[in-house]
Chain A
Amino acid sequence: MNFKRCKLKRLDGQNPSYEKNKIMLKINNIHAQVGDNKILKGLNLQVKPGEVHAIMGPNGAGKSTLGNVLAGMEKVQVTEGSVDFLGKDLLELEIEQRASEGVFMAFQYPVEIPGVNNMYFLRAALNAQRKYRGESEMNSSVFLKLVREKIKMMNMRDDLLRRPVNEGFSGGEKKRNEIFQMSILEPKLAILDETDSGLDIDALKIVADGVNQLRNADRSFIVITHYQRLLDYIVPDFVHVLADGKIVRTGDKSLALELEETGYGWLDK
Chain B
Amino acid sequence: MFKNPIDSLFEKLTNRLDEPVWLQKKRRQAFKNFQDLGLPTRKSELWKYTDVKRLERLPDVTDVAEGNEHFVFTIEGGLPKETTMSNIIDIKEANWQDIKTDKERVFVELNTAMLNSGFELSIAKNSQLKLHIQYQQISAAWENIRTVINIGENAQLDLSESYDYDCRINHVAIINAAKNSTIKLQSNKLLAKTEALIHYLKINCAKNVSVEQSTVNNNASLSHTIEDVDFNGEHCHFKAASVNVAHDSCHIAENIQTNHLVGHCKSEVIKRSLATDKGQVAINAKAVVSVAADGSDVAQSLKNILLSDDAKIYSRPELEINTDDVIAAHGSTIGELDELSLTYLRSRGIPKEQAKLMLIESFLQDANIFKLENILDLIEL
Contacts and interface: CB of A to CB of B under 8 A. Distances in A.
Interface string B342-381: 0111111111101100110111010000000000000000
Contacts of A115: 359, 361-363, 365
Interface in B14-51: none
A137 interface: no
Given A111-B341, A113-B341, A114-B362, A132 B349 contact: yes
Interface stretch (A45-53, A95-103, A200-208): A95-103
Interface in A161-195: 164-165, 181, 185
Contacts of B346: 94-96, 99
A129 B348 CA distance: 8
A124 B343 contact: no
Interface in B224-247: none
B358 A124 contact: yes
A128 B350 contact: yes
Nearest to A71: B347
Residue from the set A104, A114, A132 with the largest chain B CB neighbour count within 10 Å: A114
Nearest to A103: B347
A94 B354 CA distance: 14
Contacts of A94: 346, 352
Contacts of B347: 71-73, 95-96, 99, 105, 107
B147 to A, nearest CB: 35
Contacts of A165: 344
Contacts of A153: none
A267 interface: no
Nearest to A165: B344
Interface string B235-267: 000000000000000000000000000000000
A133 to B, nearest CB: 10
A77 to B, nearest CB: 15
At the interface, is chain B mostly helix, strand, loop or mixed?
Answer: helix
B344 A125 contact: no
A19 interface: no
Contacts of A185: 348-349
Contacts of B350: 96, 121, 124-125, 128
Interface in A60-104: 71-74, 94-96, 99-100, 104
B341 A100 contact: no
B343 A121 contact: no
Contacts of B354: 124, 128
B344 A111 contact: yes
B341 A128 contact: no
Contact of B358 (A71, A73, A121, A132): A121
A125 B343 contact: no
Interface in A128-171: 128-129, 132, 164-165
Contacts of A71: 347
Contact of B343 (A95, A100, A126): A95
A121 B359 contact: no
B340 interface: yes
A111 B348 CA distance: 12
Nearest to A125: B348
A23 interface: no
A165 B342 CA distance: 12
A248 interface: no
A52 B358 CA distance: 34
Interface string B172-198: 000000000000000000000000000
Contact of A110 (B344, B345, B359): B344
A34 interface: no
B213 to A, nearest CB: 22
B247 to A, nearest CB: 23
Given A95-B343, A111-B344, A116 B362 contact: yes
B341 A121 contact: no
A122 B347 CA distance: 12
Contact of A96 (B340, B349, B361): B349
A128 B344 contact: no
Interface string B140-176: 0000000000000000000000000000000000000
B352 to A, nearest CB: 7
B349 A73 contact: no
B349 A128 contact: yes
Contacts of B345: 113, 116, 121, 125
Residue from the set A104, A113, A122, A129 with the largest chain B CB neighbour count within 10 Å: A113
B340 A121 contact: no
A174 to B, nearest CB: 11
Given A113-B341, A113-B345, A128 B351 contact: yes
22 contacts: A73-B343, A73-B347, A94-B352, A95-B343, A96-B350, A99-B347, A99-B348, A107-B347, A110-B344, A111-B343, A113-B345, A113-B359, A116-B341, A116-B362, A121-B358, A125-B345, A125-B348, A128-B349, A129-B348, A129-B349, A164-B362, A165-B344
- Which 4 A-B pairs give the minimum distances between C-beta atoms? A115-B362, A125-B348, A99-B349, A129-B349
